Structure 1
Amino acid sequence: MGVYGNLESMLIILLRITGYGWTAIAFVVLSVLVAVKILKRSNPGRKPGCIGIGYVSLIVFCLLSFSSMLAGALGGFVVNAFTLPRYKAKVVSVSSYVSKDSKNRNTIMYRSTVAFTTEDGTPVEMETDISSSGRPEIGETVTVGYKPGMSAAGEFSGTKYLLMSGAAVMLLVIGYFSIAGIIYAMGWQMATYFNFGMIILLYFILPLAMLFMLGGMGYAVVQYFMGLRPDMPVWAVVVCTFFCLVLSAGMMGYVRLLAARRGRTR
């Protein structure tokens, strides 16, 4: 009875594990396997130690977890952008809260509550799914995506597109190193993958990073001159404007550099 009781208890525990739990378990197992393979390839003839396996496994697990979370967030955004019915909504109220960064500095964040009418004539009033440091104007019109059952309306705004662009850049970087670790662990040659990484870096990551910085700073300057961020210091406006000009010139020069480099390789 004791053995059957233990088996029954274990089966109940396994049945209670959610899909997210099984995913985490799979990531842990994969991380350990990849870590062992990496250590064996980097130190042939030596048996990997427990501390080394644990350290490398933690790094691999973090890379895989962040890649999956970013891919899920971006995938959800893309699906919603193409499938959710869109409505023109008006901001009817604004809530605020204080957010602290890593340096313990306080920033007031604002979240809009919008009102709109669905296709079947149902009036809806709810918060949007993003917050911003710029205070929205009451009566301002925004585009939202909504379907029955959602707890917050999906706002399609410049702020959200900037956030998703930043997430895409992070996914490219973290995903690249995640795949590199798996390729290295499998014992495959790395030269081709490194060349592919340089192409991704030069033609995608750096341009997207510059566009993200230019968009973020330019958006802050536009909000200030539209009166949406009256609390923004003048020195911050000057700095953002200066870097917008520098980034614009830098992007034009970078595009010319890539064009010249591509012409030489032909």
Structure 2
Amino acid sequence: MTKQAEGTVISLIAGFYDVELDNGEIIRTRARGAFRQKKQKPAVGDHVEVKIDDKGIGYLVKILPRVNRIGRPAVANVSHVLLVISAVQPDFSLQLLDRFLTFFSWQKVAVTIYLSKSDLLPTEKLKTIQEELNYYREIGYQVFDNENDIQKIPSQIKKGQIWTLAGQSGAGKSTLLNKLKKDANQETGEISMSLNRGKHTTRAVKLFKLGDGFLADTPGFSSIDLTPIKINELCNYFVEFKRASVKCKFRGCQHLQEPGCEVKKLLEEGKIAQSRYDDYLAMRTEISEGRIPEYLK
């Protein structure tokens, strides 16, 4: 007798989809051929319907509506990003921080910033970075900047949420994952292997149970492309610019040379960081020229 259930795709391995059912059971499934005909491809994070036949073999039959689908390889239904920014090795970069924040603001995904490797910096240098990060707290971002903060993360992942790690290569995402989920490198779960009993050591994306939801381990967010953003909408993805713009004289103000610009006024008063405005101008150039900056290649 065939039974039907719903669950979340937690990993994709060699054409098989591991799905955690709502009852906590994990099964290995194949996608029906109808997905190819519809040019659909299930992604890790998708909420799906599966059918399980009387032999225990599972088939993924339907992708439920997505909130979003971000990255390459993709994660679906991302509700929050844990952005890992390195204090050193690689050096702390406000440019990179602003790129990531702008990208995820465009994707309408909330971000928590985590400063990694802070213990490797002398006190004075760390203090300078922490002062810079205080600006991001002031404009509404949650910022964790020490080892003790790590313990707060699991409790913030609510039921059904999918958080994902992001940050430049070498920032310490894997180290953080292993601190949050000590069995992350070994965890495979109790998976029904009716379709495939072979071992697979390569995985592109995987969801780990954390808190009341999931944390995605993915290589897809180490670098990002801002060029698809419409240049006249870019200012909306700088959260403090968007708030200030309601007082701009002209609707659709781009905060360049327009008279009565509230963003430029706050910039002159030191209430908007010069580094944020400079990065905004640099991103406008990047988008208008349709190319990623040399320092990111």
Instruction: Calculate the TM-score normalised by the size of structure 2.
Output: 0.21
- Which structure has more relative contact order (CA 8 Å, sep 6+)? It is 2
Pick the structure with more strand per residue: 2
Pick the structure with more helix per residue: 1
Instruction: Calculate the TM-score normalised by the size of structure 1.
Output: 0.22
